[in-house]
Homo-oligomer: A and B are copies of this chain.
């Protein structure tokens, strides 16, 4: 139970994952102010992009208020110590956007794929390395795959040149012992650094983050004031406090992070990041937050409880891009109900 390392490197994701919580309405002034405060608090990495990564701004994923390259530029301009990171989901973003981000001064590329589809990240990881960027492989929806499968996929990313591979609990569905098993297996079989990205849908973001660190993860994501998709991520300023209490160094200034959360972030939030019925059921079912609205519509159409649809989708391990299946599942559930 004792932590093996006494130091972790944090990445603040409020300007990327947190963009979901603001319906992607960040302005240049907001991003500059937040990035400056994070830089002053000695945050090592600050991720800036649409919530669904570079080129995510679209009718399907939500239109950004501001062109993301203007936001990246604003963050780079105020960050004299922190490195700016970008997220790229192959299929949404391309190498073209990655090059543009690098040319603007982004120093870290995080290439994200579904946990079983690491092979689609190859060309993007190669490109990021060629651009001289520190490169992360980001295995999303990691609760849907067993540790052995995750090791296999992480090894692909390692082979492509990733410097770090993350276990990403996109739906906030992992339990602490499941996080342990995944990180432990990766530590045994990989040479690169291991990272962990939590969501708080089951109120386990902090528990899972500590479990990951105890098993050897050294790169950890947090979002100030919990600003992220679903119920948000591991709350950064709280994580800094907890790690300080545990004797694990982050180098990040606790008071400055608290002040940023309270004085800058909280007043910007349209609704606070509570664990609502909606986010809880997503974590319990283990499905993407983008499914919620579709499930509600299907529930209304077929006179069902949206929760039953989401839980069934979770059992079937439906992934992003398969939103069409929601109506099929609802129809089946309605039929089963009729004949029950």
Q: Assuming the A-B contacts A206-B204, A235-B203, A274-B226, are A1 and B180 also in contact, with contact meaning beta carbons closer than 8 angstroms in the complex? A: yes
Tell me the bound Cα distance from A104 to B186 in angstroms.
58
Binds B, one of A12-20, A22-30, A239-247, A292-300: A239-247
Q: Which residues of A contact B (CB under 8 A)?
A: 1, 175-177, 180, 200, 202-207, 210, 225-226, 234-235, 237-239, 241-242, 244-246, 254-255, 258-259, 261-262, 266, 272-277, 280-281, 283-284, 305, 307
Central interface residue in A175, A255, A262, A274, by most chain B CB within 10 Å: A274
* In the complex, residue of chain B having the shortest beta-carbon distance to the beta carbon of A231: B238
Q: Lowest 4 A-B CB distances belong to which pairs?
A: A207-B207, A262-B277, A203-B206, A272-B272
A–B Cβ pairs within 8 angstroms, 6 of them: A204-B206, A226-B274, A255-B305, A261-B277, A262-B276, A272-B272
A166 CA to B174 CA, complexed, in Å = 28
Nearest-Cβ distance from residue A21 to partner chain B, whole angstroms:
12
Given contacts A175-B245, A274-B225, A274-B272, contact A307 B255 (CB under 8 A): yes
In chain B, what residue has the closest Cβ to A205? B203
A204 with B305: CB separation less than 8 A: no
Shortest CB-to-CB span from A2 to chain B, Å, is: 8
Nearest-neighbor residue (CB-CB) of A285 within chain B: B241
**Interface of A, helix, strand, loop or mixed by DSSP:** helix
Known A202-B242, A272-B272; further 15 A-B contacts with Cβ < 8 A: A175-B242, A175-B246, A200-B203, A203-B235, A203-B239, A206-B206, A225-B274, A235-B275, A241-B283, A254-B284, A258-B281, A258-B307, A262-B277, A266-B276, A274-B274
Q: Report the Cα distance A46→B122, complex, angstroms.
A: 55
Q: Which of B203, B225, B237 contacts A234 (CB 8 A)?
A: B203
